[in-house]
Amino acid sequence: MDSSYVTALAALAGSMIGGLTTLAASWLGKRVEFSAEQLAHGLNRREELYKDFIEEASKWFTHAYEHDDPKVSNLVGIYALVSQMRVLSSTRVVDSAERVVRAIIQTYRAPNRGFADVEELLDNQALNPLRDFSSACRDELLGLGRAGPVRT
């Protein structure tokens, strides 16, 4: 075989290997980038869902604390948020959310309370149903990679 053929084949093989290496590196980089974007999107979606649930639950818990006229239609939105959590969230978060809804219903059944009872609400774990829920959400988000402030 002529040495010029060997040189040409070696140059062609080197170019192919270099091109394939560049292609593989680019593909791998894009794949990692896509995975990171998917994770960030999923975390943002959960954060937004948890925020919406806390706002909705706070609104109806406050209403239940001061009133005894529950309407099932008022709780439809909060049940929809719990159903969305069943798709995205851990069992601990969903169970905590369901306990919040039950606490709202029980609060409607209890006697109305006024501003003088607010301190009891803040101090008593049983009367603050969102505390366990928010802790479960924070633990889940931190476990999935969302860095954030952690209270100790």
pLDDT, tens only, 20-35: 888 888 888 878 777 6
Q: pLDDT higher for 94 or 12?
A: 94
- Whether the pLDDT of residue 150 is over 50: the answer is no
**Rounded to a whole number, what is the distance in angstroms from the first to the last CA of the chain?**
75
Give the model's pLDDT for residue 116.
Answer: 64
Contacts 24+ apart (CB under 8 A), 137-142: 137/46, 137/50, 137/93, 137/96, 139/92, 140/46, 140/89, 140/90, 140/92, 140/93, 141/43, 141/46, 141/47
Q: Which of 148, 58, 150 is nearest to 104 (CA)?
A: 58
Range 43-72 average pLDDT: 87
> Can you give the pTM of this predicted structure?
0.69
Give the model's pLDDT for residue 92.
Answer: 93
Confidence of residue 152 (pLDDT cuts 50, 70, 90): very low
Q: How many Å apart are CA 35 and CA 44, to the nearest integer?
A: 14
pLDDT digit string, tens, across residues 133-147 = 989 999 998 888 755
